[in-house]
Amino acid sequence: MQLTDMYSTLETRTSGKSIPSSLGKQVTVVGRVSQLGGSNLKLVTHDDKTITVKFSSSSSLPTQDSIVEVIGTVLPDQTIQSTAYLIFEEDFDLTMYDEAMKLVDKLPIFK
């Protein structure tokens, strides 16, 4: 995982459906890699939204079907320019994470 300048970023854990309202913001999104292509990939988020994640280089991208946590900035075209990613274990419970994110989106303490 690349951590260049990571100490200075203040991303917010974001669900897929909130990406369109997070343009320009730094976000953390969790989902499953559905398609790889060059230095981009398509991520199906925990709440079933498909977003494109761009990387600065095509080397060391996550593998197809892996569950990843992506950290990056939301671009105006609603894609994410990733600065780092972390591969989660295969038995990570995406459904339960989605339930937790519903609370994150709802409760005032997370805003």
Q: How far is CA 53 from CA 41, 65, 87, 88, 108, in A?
A: 5, 14, 14, 17, 28
Q: 57 or 109, CB closer to other proteins? A: 109
Q: 1 or 38, CB closer to other proteins? A: 1
Residues that bind other proteins (CB under 8 A): 1, 3, 6-7, 9-13, 28, 69, 71, 86, 88-89, 92-93, 96-97, 99-101, 103-104, 107, 109-110
Q: 37 or 60, CB closer to other proteins? A: 60
Q: What angle do CA 32, 84, 67 make, to 5 degrees?
A: 15
